[in-house]
Amino acid sequence: MALLQYVRESFVRAVEGVSEQDARRELVGSGTTLLWLTRHVARAEELWILQRFAAGDAVVVDDEVRPTDTLPAAIDTYRATWARVDAVVAGASLDDQCRNIGDDPMVNLRWVVMHLLEETARHAGHADILREQIDGATGR
């Protein structure tokens, strides 16, 4: 979990400090924005750990950006998600199977954590590129 936490924090460093206008700027053809990415990584952790692995009744937020959404609120939501997700992982074995995967092939918690690590790292890279386009800031 230490590596996942590292990439989580790397992601947040890439998005923190931009204006609300810049957080919503669509600089690539896909329309990806820093605000959307922040909502998306929080949603991914909720979906995979709280809903699919733990089969809890957690309400998984969508990653749609609404006019009232703000980047600081999205970052706060993402950080709050870490504690809930980490508590579930700490109380389980990496060999435990997901409980609610739907029609997809069964996977265990080890696979889920590695998937989240890969997805968060990939999106941290996306955030780095968008941030560099916005104000030239680069970093880890």
pLDDT, tens only, 72-110? 999 999 999 999 999 999 999 999 999 888 788 899 999
Residue 140 lies in a domain: no
Residue 11 lies in a domain: yes
Q: Which residues contact 2 (CB under 8 A, 6 or more apart)?
A: none
The CA distance from 125 to 18, in Å, is 16
Residue 65 lies in a domain: yes
The pTM (predicted TM-score) of the whole model is 0.93
> Domain span at residue 76?
2-135
Q: How many domains does the chain have?
A: 1
Residue 58 lies in a domain: yes
The domain that contains 29 carries what CATH number?
A: 1.20.120.450
Residue 108 lies in a domain: yes
Range 95-104 burial, b when 16+ CB lie within 10 A, else e? eeebeebeee
pLDDT, tens only, 106-137? 999 999 999 999 999 999 999 999 999 999 98
